[in-house]
Amino acid sequence: MVHASTTPRSVCVGFSTAWSIIAASAGTVGSTLVVVMPGSILVARLLGIDIRIHLSWFLVFAIVLLSLADQRGILAQLGPGWTQRELVVAAAVASLLFFASVVVHELAHATVARAFRMPVSSITLFLLGGVANLAKEPPRAAAEFLMAIAGPLTSLAIGAAGLGICQIVFAPEGGCGGLLDGRVSATFAAADAVAVVAAYLGVVNVLLAVFNMIPGFPLDGGRVLRSVVWGWLRDRSRATHIAARGGQLVAGLLLLLAAWRAIGRDDTFGALWMGFIAYFLYTAASQAIDQERVAAAVAGVRVASLMSTQLTAVAPTATIAQVVDEHILARNARAVAVIDGGRFAGLVTVAGLRKVAQREWRDTPVERAMTPARELEALTPGSRLITAIERLGASDIPALPVVEDGVLVGLLERDAVASYVRMREMLGLR
């Protein structure tokens, strides 16, 4: 195979071609309040945090892999003379390590979040990157600042490590500078492959950090901006509004850039991908404004004013068929409390019932399908409604138990909360 020299200019072109992939993978790296994504697969558990992969991630992984394995891609330019098989192997390793670095980025967020008593239940890789599932928002500006900045700093550290490895491994040929000048041997060598993959990981992680520090919510830079404004104005709602408007502005600029790529560079795929990122960022920023408006609207409301005291309760020995016929269907109940000896034992939901085969309903006690009380975050009548909203947002359960002195006194239903918020908005109440 002919040895084609790789000039610094051609390497820059290669990185430019890969930029939309990098941006897509970095576009939503950050910590937001979300429920577990339907269609996600549990693949590991690190530091007590579930690591999940959404089905959409396989698409972006394939795009990254194919772009790196292409003979016109950045790895081919850094490692000229490699066969297609050697290029595919290097591309697969680089792709896996890149997404592993995204997980480490999210773990940095999660570690700081837990230090400030913000539970993190899972990290999910999906089409647009990674997202940490927080049970609640940061309690103060300093906590948000440290949590947000931890991810980009970690990416910079990974980037520095990658470039450092490249510099050491390729030292006889002038370090990374020699790599850019095309001094890789025409035949595949393990040391060259390590240097090429390390250089790629170094650069993309630096780009990951830079992209995430753009001051637009929900990017990490937007959260840093919100924390600074929050600490300065002592007003989280106003800080969220400013940071989210920044996110909408970033989305608008990305949309203009997408149009330029489509018209000026005839890059339809890159333009569509960037336009999709812009849409996602704009939507997420708008949702942040809506979420903060809801929080402000219910700031003084307590759970007691919305909880249902007309309880539908059954004994743990009742069969699933009885519960379905006499309560779920007859009363259109989304959740049924299970009471054992006067004490709250758990909650039966439609999702829980569906885990048991219908043919077994007549012989299976409902306690086999209930969510035990110990796994539910109970509220009290005096709990703030915003606390309840955060807990409902962190799970898919249709209701939360309201307990006082160990006795169930009511249920706070998700539908009731949603109806209350909608009614306040219809009335124009703030």
Write down the pLDDT at residue 33: 38
Write down the pLDDT at residue 155: 94
Of 25, 186, 169, 47, residue with least CA distance to 97: 25
Of 91, 70, 83, 87, residue with least CA distance to 1: 83
Write down the pLDDT at residue 230: 94
Contact 309, 409 (CB under 8 A): yes
**pLDDT band at residue 177 under the 50/70/90 scheme:** low
Write down the pLDDT at residue 244: 92
**pLDDT band at residue 403 under the 50/70/90 scheme:** confident
Lowest mean pLDDT among 22-31, 208-217, 404-413: 22-31
**pLDDT band at residue 197 under the 50/70/90 scheme:** confident
Q: Using CA atoms, how far apart are residues 405 and 396, in angstroms rounded to an integer?
A: 26
Write down the pLDDT at residue 190: 66
Mean pLDDT of 166-174: 71
pLDDT tens-digit profile of 200-230?
899 899 998 998 899 888 889 999 999 999 9
Lowest mean pLDDT among 7-11, 69-73, 118-122, 240-244: 7-11
The answer, yes or no, to whether residue 352 has pLDDT greater than 90, is: no
Contact 33, 136 (CB under 8 A): yes
The answer, yes or no, to whether residue 319 has pLDDT greater than 70, is: yes
Q: Using CA atoms, how far apart are residues 76 and 87, in angstroms rounded to an integer?
A: 7
Write down the pLDDT at residue 4: 30
Write down the pLDDT at residue 134: 78
Classify residue 342 as left (phi > 0), alpha (psi -120 to 50) or beta. Answer: left
Q: Tell me what the pLDDT averaged over the chain comes to.
A: 80
**pLDDT band at residue 327 under the 50/70/90 scheme:** confident
Contact 104, 159 (CB under 8 A): no
Q: Using CA atoms, how far apart are residues 380 and 378, in angstroms rounded to an integer?
A: 7
Q: Using CA atoms, how far apart are residues 313 and 159, in angstroms rounded to an integer?
A: 56
More confident call, 331 vs 243: 243
More confident call, 118 vs 97: 97
More confident call, 388 vs 33: 388
**pLDDT band at residue 174 under the 50/70/90 scheme:** low
Most confident range (mean pLDDT) of 23-27, 130-134, 349-353 is 349-353
Mean pLDDT of 361-366: 90
pLDDT tens-digit profile of 122-149?
888 887 778 887 777 788 999 999 999 9
- Enumerate the domain spans of the chain: 8-213, 303-427
- What percentage of residues in the chain have a pLDDT greater than 90? 20
CATH of domain 303-427: 3.10.580.10
CA angle 293, 152, 149 (to 5 degrees): 50
Contact 366, 320 (CB under 8 A): yes
The answer, yes or no, to whether residue 10 has pLDDT greater than 50, is: no
Mean pLDDT of 269-279: 84
The answer, yes or no, to whether residue 169 has pLDDT greater than 90, is: no
The answer, yes or no, to whether residue 256 has pLDDT greater than 90, is: yes
SS3 113: helix
Please name the residues in contact with 114: beta carbons below 8 A apart, sequence gap of 6 or more: 120
